[in-house]
Amino acid sequence: MTRRTTPRTAPGHWPGTARRPSSPARRAALALTAVLLTASAAACAEPDRQRAREPAGSSGAPAAPAPPAGFTLVATGDVLPHDSVIEQARADAGYDGYDFAPMLAAVAPVVSAADLAICHMETVYGADGDYSGYPAFTSPPEVAAGLAATGYDSCSTASNHSLDDGADGIRRTLEALDAAGVAHHGSARTATEAATPAWLEAGGAKVAQLAYTFDTNGHEPPPGQPWAVSPLDEERIVADARAARRSGADVVVLSLHWGTEWQTDPDERQLTLARTLTASTTAGRPDIDLIIGTHAHVPQAYEKVNGTWVIYGMGDQIAGPMFNHYGGHDLRGNQGSIGRFTFAPPAGAGARWEVRRAEFIPQFYDTGAGRLVQLPAALADGADRDDYREAQESISEAVLSRGAAADGLTMAGR
């Protein structure tokens, strides 16, 4: 099946057929997929056209539906536009608005080639040029268009910064993502929206993305809106995952904003939640199929827990120069990983969609250039940069620190 993404068209509704315009990279990926599928598609296309011409009562039998094909899913870390990032986007737009696509361009081939791509939008959006970075973030709404142009299908929006500008910040953020055709979950404008996953579709699978955060920096939900941001609560997460299954989800993906900032090792709460959430089953089938984590600002481990892949932390994808708790400039704050998982259809009735290939790709936001770097590709293409080599080594060490290589996780070049 060629790539098909169906963002939610209205809160509480199953996705329709409306699709956002594809980026050039995504159109190229689609074209390539179409060529590869031509041989098998042609075998059934001509008989279908012949049957369409046959009169009623002919002996032609309806074609059987195509079996599920499987799909690839990529996920990336925190999009955290500090003042320097906002200024870079302004410069890239020729000082007429903001353009975030150029700084993300290096990862667009990986993101747009995947069947589904999930990002993490850590901040909320401002309005009328009133934008700011740390400590209370209000980002330009043009971030959403940059994410869509890169090839993202959905974003988690639950973070400790989700209430930096109250209900207005949430509304502006979700309106901009809607306008860009990017699905979302984790913050909400209504109770119905809060209870509705980001619905996606690829390779014959219906995928539900659910997002939660451990904290909102002490900000209380807006009056009368306790559902505005989804809290990291084990019982609620399991209940939501099971509800998504009942609504038809073949694959349930959790986006969790959790962990301890600047700590490479996952903390005890991450480890405990990973064990309990992946152990949750219904009729012998796991309720959750993949966990992707954000927040720590540094790359953390991937691990297969109870047969389910968990990324404890992907690190930052976009951020300005980062300073740790000791006030020192810490390059780890601009390091991250792309997780890429290839799902295969169930082996039988009642079985889960299995991850048959698990990969990571190290990435680095070069604050001097204002550009994201896909490290293996840059080094393979001749970049003679010690900082790139050191970043790739540091990311790989963190990602593999809990034995994921033994379960088949590999580093991909592109």
SS3 readout for 256-280: EECCCCCCCCCCHHHHHHHHHHHHC
- Determine the distance from the C-alpha atom of residue 91 to the mean position of all C-alpha atoms in its chain, rounded to a whole number: 27
Nearest Cα residue to 414 out of 147, 74, 149, 103 = 74
pLDDT at 307: 98
Whether residue 317 contacts residue 119, with contact meaning beta carbons closer than 8 Å, is answered with yes
CA distance 131 to 160: 18
Check whether the bond before 135 is cis (ω within 30° of 0): yes
Within 10 Å of residue 47's Cβ, how many Cβ atoms?
A: 12
Q: What's the chain's Rg over C-alpha atoms?
A: 21
Whether residue 117 contacts residue 5, with contact meaning beta carbons closer than 8 Å, is answered with no
CA distance 107 to 104: 6
CA distance 194 to 175: 15
Tokens of 152: 């993202």
β 71-80/316-319 pair status: parallel
Whether residue 294 contacts residue 252, with contact meaning beta carbons closer than 8 Å, is answered with no
Residue length, the chain? Answer: 414
Amino acid letter for position 321: P
pLDDT at 140: 98
Whether residue 300 contacts residue 324, with contact meaning beta carbons closer than 8 Å, is answered with no
Chain position carrying tokens 């070049």: 413
User: What's the whole-model pTM score?
Assistant: 0.85
- At residue 403, φ and ψ (nearest 5 deg) are 80, 20
Q: Read out DSSP for 157-169?
A: --STTTTTTHHHH
pLDDT at 302: 98
pLDDT along the chain (414 residues), means of 10: 36 33 42 37 35 41 76 98 98 98 98 98 96 96 98 98 98 98 98 98 98 97 98 98 98 98 98 98 97 98 98 98 91 97 94 97 97 98 96 98 98 94
For 316-346, give the secondary structure using H, E and C.
EEEECCCECCCCCECHHHHEEEEEEEEEECC
In the chain, the domains with their CATH numbers are: 71-411 (3.60.21.10)
